[in-house]
């Protein structure tokens, strides 16, 4: 029987975390070194968790499939990190950040988790500065801020357009210090392929050494997954090429519940598609919307050059529809608005793109100011497209970006499998149905620096888990299953390439489980994904062997998981008969096209348990809103 106890502490929301920290059990400093903890992933959440657990004195084994911890995809976050510092004296507070995040998530997040996130946000900035993260500063030497979507205050800290890079290098440096001190042992080029659960507790992992091909076993007292999101299920997304769902999906197959898989975020400002060979979609930071104005022509199929379209023929549709948030409307709303005008045939040249225009900002502030704020982003844009955004408006279109769904965790960030913790984008916990900009970095570091060091101790002290030898039969069994799967992928030698099948899956997902969903499309998607999965196992072609570097084999294993996850995403979307945040069901909308939430029936976290033969059972964690009363989410 699955027990979905969120373990949210009692008391007033502003005191929950303080009281909880006091109530959590501790591990004596001398005993910490007797415990071994596995951390998988070295992005913001994984690197910060490894660093803090190492600082506390635990033995940490950290794994990444990259050649270096610094490559994790947190590195690519551009715009910034939110924190309720109120340095700008513009009315920010922990409560307002909490309120904005719950509302931004369309009332589908757990209040207590979100409050804690807001509460520790200020400390994150302090910690990062103490590590030497070179945030942007004013002439007086104090930290600078900017605004992001879904907020009416300036609470975003940034380091040019490379905030994720600087934060990750800070977290990785802290982890490297622990490597230097001997508390963290770092294993690079290892991909986690399975979780070992013994007597109901997470006891270790099975990884493939990506250089030698060897399948290796590692055991620990607890396992922490910080392996990111699953947007690459769409094939084309803003995620890095190697981002994948394998670690969390295979843990799901070992019993961990998968929560809200259909909550995916489509980011409004990405570069439009250029052709069939495209490998990924490039994000342009949301911070551009601080000064750029989004518009399309009022005329369908307008083939004029954007600079020749006069003011009267331009529709600044975000400013028109959402006057109080304008170009800084939240991501889900901005993306849908872009799709709407393009579906009307008013996109760039009638196609799938809208303009993001800096003409007025350059006029108002001068080219120098714009260059200082966004220079590197403009360079990226010009490198890719060949167009100069100082002279011609950027062309942008929404693309899959972030996944709010992930493994279910309680307030301690532990999954329903004792000893299995899930941090960062890999869990479902803080962003509800839509994440606000600059909040992913905040969550990754909050989980790793400020939550796991407390809750891990409580697990070890209360459950008193033992270390199982990797010679245990269960380790051997799981290892053999992983080996069998590898052998099977290599033995099919069919007619279709991995990318070919992945692209087909991506098209199904984008068309039917993407920005707008409906019952008919979702039912078709489920059927099509099942058929494609069957075809994959009959006709995929993975050349080479498993005994050395084989990147096709790596991709094939990840695709096999996407072909299962994709189905669950569609099932979850079909089950949720409402529209909320990134999940828009065409049947559930107001007359003006805004999302129609159903709090009476769907105010819950959908946590799915995998049964035999790809049947899933739904478990519900009801969401209670004591502090932020659910209301129609208006940005008008």
Partner 1 sequence: METKNINLKLKIWRQKNSNSVGSFVDYDVTVSPDASFLEMLDELNNKLESQSLEPIVFESDCREGICGTCGLVINGQPHGPIPRIATCQLHMRNFKDGDTIWVEPFRAKAFPVIKDLMVDRSGFDKILQAGGYISANVGGAQDANAIPIPKDVASEAFDAAACIGCGACVAACKNASAMLFVAAKVSHLGLLPQGQPERYRRVERMIAKMDELGFGSCTNTYACEAECPKGISVKFIARMNRDFISAKLKSKSLDIA
Report the residue number, 121 or 603, with the smaller CB distance to partner 1.
Answer: 121
Per-residue exposure over 5-43, b if at least 16 CB sit within 10 Å of its own CB, e if not: ebebbeeebeebbeebeeebeebeeeebeebbbbbbbbb
Nearer to partner 1, 186 or 573 (CB): 186
DSSP state of 140: T
Restricting to residues 566-605, name those near partner 1 by CB under 8 A.
Answer: none
* Binding mask of the shown chain, residues 249 to 288, with x at each position contacting partner 1 by CB under 8 A: -------------------------xx-xxxx-xx-----
**Residues between 138 and 157 with contacts to partner 1, criterion CB under 8 A:** 138-143
DSSP 413: S
Catalytic residue among 331, 373, 517, 558: 331
Q: Is the dihedral of CA 239, 244, 247, 250 positive or negative?
A: positive
- 67 contacts partner 1 (rule: CB under 8 A): yes
- DSSP calls for 83-130: ----TT-SS--HHHHHHHHHHHTTT-S-HHHHHHHHHHHHHHHHHHHH
558: contact with partner 1 by CB under 8 A: no
Shortest CB 154 distance to partner 1, Å: 15
Residue 61 sits at φ, ψ, to 5 deg, of -110, 115
Can residue 352 be called a binding residue for partner 1 (CB under 8 A)?
A: no
Contacting partner 1 within 156-215 (CB under 8 A): 159-160, 162, 165-166, 169, 172-174, 176-177, 179-180, 186, 188, 211
- Could you tell me which residues come within 8 angstroms of residue 123 by beta carbon, excluding any fewer than 6 positions away? 449, 450
DSSP sequence for 329-356: --HHHHHHHHHHHHHTT-SGGGSS-EEE
- Please provide residue 225's backbone torsions phi and psi, each rounded to the nearest 5 degrees: -100, 130
Q: Which of 18, 68, 577, 634 binds partner 1 (CB under 8 A)?
A: 68
Q: Out of 247, 380, 407, 605, name the contact with partner 1 by CB under 8 A.
A: 380
532 binds partner 1 (CB under 8 A): no
Residues 410-469 within binding reach of partner 1 (CB under 8 A): 449-450, 453
Q: Which residues pair with 38 in a beta bridge?
A: 61, 223
Is 73 a residue that touches partner 1 (CB under 8 A)? yes
Torsion of CA 197, 201, 204, 208, to 10 degrees: 30
160 belongs to the catalytic site:
no
Q: Which residue, chain included where needed, has tokens 């295979």?
A: 250
Interface residues for partner 1 in 6-45 (CB under 8 A)?
none
Shortest distance in whole angstroms from residue 158 CB to partner 1: 11
Query: Rounded to 5, what percent of the chain is helix, strand, coil?
Result: 45, 15, 40
Regarding 90 and contact with partner 1 (CB under 8 A), the answer is no
Q: What is the spatial distance between Cα 506 and Cα 515, in angstroms, rounded to a whole number? A: 13
Q: In this structure, is the dihedral angle defined by the CA atoms of residues 624, 627, 628 and 630, taken in order, positive or negative? A: positive
CB of 376 to partner 1, least distance (A): 9
Stretch that binds partner 1, among 66-74, 222-230, 322-330, 579-587 (CB under 8 A): 66-74
**Total number of residues binding partner 1 (CB under 8 A)?**
83
DSSP state for residue 70 in the 8-state scheme: G
Min CB(260)–partner 1 separation in Å? 26
Q: Which is nearer to partner 1, 160 or 254 (CB)?
A: 160
Among 36, 88, 93, 123, binds partner 1 (CB under 8 A): 123
- If binding is defined by CB under 8 A, does position 630 make contact with partner 1? no
Which amino acids are annotated catalytic?
331
């Amino acid at each position: 029987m699955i027990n979905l106890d969120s373990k949210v502490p009692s008391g007033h929301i502003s005191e929950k975390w303080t009281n909880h920290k006091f109530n959590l059990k501790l591990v004596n400093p001398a005993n910490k070194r007797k415990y071994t903890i596995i951390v998988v992933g070295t992005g913001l959440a994984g690197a910060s968790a490894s660093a803090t657990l190492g600082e506390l004195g635990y033995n940490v084994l950290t794994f990444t499939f990259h050649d270096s911890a610094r490559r994790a995809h947190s590195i690519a976050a551009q715009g910034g990190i939110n924190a309720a510092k109120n340095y700008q004296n513009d009315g920010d507070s922990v409560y307002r950040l909490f309120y904005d995040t719950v509302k931004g998530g369309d009332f589908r997040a757990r209040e207590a988790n979100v409050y804690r996130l807001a509460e520790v946000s200020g400390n994150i900035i302090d910690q990062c500065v103490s590590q030497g993260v070179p945030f942007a500063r004013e002439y007086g030497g104090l930290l600078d801020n900017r605004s992001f979507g879904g907020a009416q205050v300036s609470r975003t800290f940034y380091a040019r357009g490379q905030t994720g890079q600087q934060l990750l290098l800070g977290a990785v440096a802290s982890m490297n210090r622990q490597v230097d001190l001997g508390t963290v042992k770092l294993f690079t080029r290892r991909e986690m392929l399975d979780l070992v659960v013994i007597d109901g507790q997470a006891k270790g992992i099975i990884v493939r050494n990506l250089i030698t091909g060897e399948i290796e076993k590692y055991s620990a007292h607890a396992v922490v997954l910080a392996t990111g999101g699953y947007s690459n299920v769409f094939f084309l997304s803003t995620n890095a090429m190697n981002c994948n769902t394998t670690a969390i999906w295979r843990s799901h197959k070992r019993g961990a519940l998968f929560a809200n898989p259909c909550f995916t975020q489509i980011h409004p400002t990405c570069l439009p598609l250029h052709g069939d060979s495209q490998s990924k979609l490039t994000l342009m930071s949301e911070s551009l919307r601080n000064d750029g104005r989004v518009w399309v022509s009022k005329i369908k199929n307008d083939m004029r050059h954007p600079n020749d379209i006069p003011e009267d023929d331009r529709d600044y549709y975000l400013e028109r529809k959402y006057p109080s948030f304008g170009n800084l409307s939240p991501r889900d709303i901005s993306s849908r608005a872009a799709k709407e005008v393009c579906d009307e045939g008013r996109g760039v040249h009638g196609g799938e793109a809208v303009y993001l225009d800096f003409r007025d900002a350059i006029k108002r502030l001068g080219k120098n100011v714009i260059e200082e704020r966004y220079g590197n982003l403009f360079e990226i844009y010009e490198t890719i497209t060949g167009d100069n955004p100082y002279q011609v408006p950027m062309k942008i279109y929404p693309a899959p970006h972030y996944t709010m769904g992930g493994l279910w965790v309680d307030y301690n960030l532990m999954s329903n499998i004792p000893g299995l913790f899930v941090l960062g984008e890999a869990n479902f916990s803080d962003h509800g149905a839509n994440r606000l900009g600059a909040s992913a970095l905040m969550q990754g570091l909050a989980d790793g620096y400020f939550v796991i060091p407390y809750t891990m101790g409580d697990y070890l002290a209360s459950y008193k888990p033992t270390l199982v030898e990797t010679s245990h039969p269960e380790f051997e069994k799981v290892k053999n299953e992983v080996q069998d799967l590898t052998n099977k992928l290599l033995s099919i030698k069919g007619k279709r390439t991995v990318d070919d099948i992945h692209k087909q899956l991506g098209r199904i997902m984008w068309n039917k489980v993407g920005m707008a969903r409906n019952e008919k499309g979702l039912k078709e998607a489920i059927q099509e994904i099942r058929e494609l999965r069957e075809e994959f196992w009959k006709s995929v072609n993975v050349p080479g062997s498993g005994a050395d570097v084989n990147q096709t084999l790596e991709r094939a294993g990840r695709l096999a998981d996407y072909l299962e996850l994709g189905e669950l995403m569609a099932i979850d979307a079909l089950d949720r008969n409402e529209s909320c945040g990134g999940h828009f069901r065409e049947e559930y909308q107001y007359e003006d096209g805004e999302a129609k939430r159903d709090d009476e029936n769907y105010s819950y976290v959908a946590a799915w348990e995998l049964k035999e033969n790809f049947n899933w059972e739904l478990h519900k964690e009801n969401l209670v809103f004591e502090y932020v009363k659910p209301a129609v989410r208006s940005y008008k």
